[in-house]
Amino acid sequence: MNVTRNIDDIRRLVADARAAGQSIALVPTMGAIHEGHCSLIRAAKDACDFVVVSIFVNPTQFGPDEDFQKYPRMEDSDLASCERCGVDTVFAPSVEVMYGEESLTEVSVGRLGKTLCGASRPGHFAGVCTVVAKLFNIVLPDAAFFGAKDFQQAVIIRRMTDDLKFPVRIVICPTARQGDGLAISSRNSYLTPAQRKQATGLYGALQMADEKIRSQHPCASDVIEAIRAHLNAHVPQGQIDYIQIVNPKDLRDVGSTDRAVLVALAVQIGGTRLIDNTLVDGP
Ligand code: AMP
């Protein structure tokens, strides 16, 4: 497995692979590689010949009071995980390589970036889109793989790709979970054992909502109130950031649940912000 840190090197490796007739997959990550990332890598390997994983903790997607400084960085074990998963090349650039001294151009996706997580994380999705657009231009992949755990991010990347005509196929992979249902996340490592126990309540709330929607098709506000009650009972240390039920295509809030909906929530437990979601098919 190669590890590349500059743009010329990764471009050369990808060009060689392409010249040998190989298709190229990109899996963008911020490192702290876990089973969720590995599931994306496996999907990438199934679909393409040459898999590039990028590891880059992107400063522009963190707000001033967020965890950019303390975000887990563990390159040695990340490289070992990538090697184990059969990655061909890791691209692990510095902030300077990605942004230079001053990078003025930003990609944003209008209203899609202002709802759900975007409401409490202004500028977050512009940071995500900007870095993903750079990665697409550097790696020139045929396909790029994202997790449904960050459903809004996946919808936004797909929209950016369509709008800006990137010739990249966007693949969205299912959320990998722990045995008790908690969505795997690099940020789970911040949780104390007591907080970790409560964090399962997010999945419990989503399962309850999924069941309620499938069996009764209630109005969205009833489901939101039931989720709120579930979280208050099971995640007493949790501060609810949002609970929303939206159209999974355009992320607009919906009033009824008689067609496909995305139930999404964000809860702060102690200093840790956790997100999760479930897609409920229509009847
Ligand atoms: P991150 O390193 O957190 O920026 O995540 C990199 C990619 O992995 C994103 O596309 C995430 O949606 C995806 N991802 C993170 N956690 C999971 C998970 N539990 N299951 C599936 N994909 C995930």
Please say whether the beta carbons of 13 and 4 come within 8 A.
Answer: yes
Residues 60 and 58: their CA atoms lie apart, in Å, by: 6
Burial of 105 (0-12, 13-18, 19+ CB in 10 A): exposed
Residue with tokens 């979970």: 177
CB of 175 shorter than 6 A to ligand 1: yes
CB of 33 shorter than 6 A to ligand 1: no
pLDDT under 70 in the chain at which residues?
Answer: 283
CB of 54 shorter than 6 A to ligand 1: no
Our answer to whether residue 34 is catalytic in this structure is: no
Please say whether the beta carbons of 230 and 222 come within 8 A.
Answer: no
Please say whether the beta carbons of 55 and 75 come within 8 A.
Answer: yes
CB of 156 shorter than 6 A to ligand 1: no
Task: Provide the H-helix boundaries in the chain.
Answer: 7-19, 35-47, 75-85, 95-99, 117-120, 124-139, 151-163, 193-216, 220-234
Pocket test for ligand 1, best of 37, 73, 85 (most atoms within 8 A of CB): 37
CB of 278 shorter than 6 A to ligand 1: no
pLDDT of 282: 73
37 CA → ligand 1 middle, Å = 6
For residue 153, give the ligand 1 atom closest to its CA: 12
pTM here is 0.97
In tens, the pLDDT along 135-163 reads 999 999 999 999 999 999 999 999 999 99
Say how many C-beta atoms besides its own lie within 10 A of residue 11's C-beta: 16
pLDDT of 283: 67
71 CA → ligand 1 middle, Å = 14
Residues 117 and 264: their CA atoms lie apart, in Å, by: 9
Q: Nearest residue CA, atom 10 of ligand 1?
A: 146
pLDDT of 54: 98
Angle at 33 between CA 32 and CA 37, to 5 degrees: 135
pLDDT of 236: 97
For residue 146, give the ligand 1 atom closest to its CA: 10
Please say whether the beta carbons of 18 and 24 come within 8 A.
Answer: yes
CB of 40 shorter than 6 A to ligand 1: yes
Residues 263 and 31: their CA atoms lie apart, in Å, by: 27
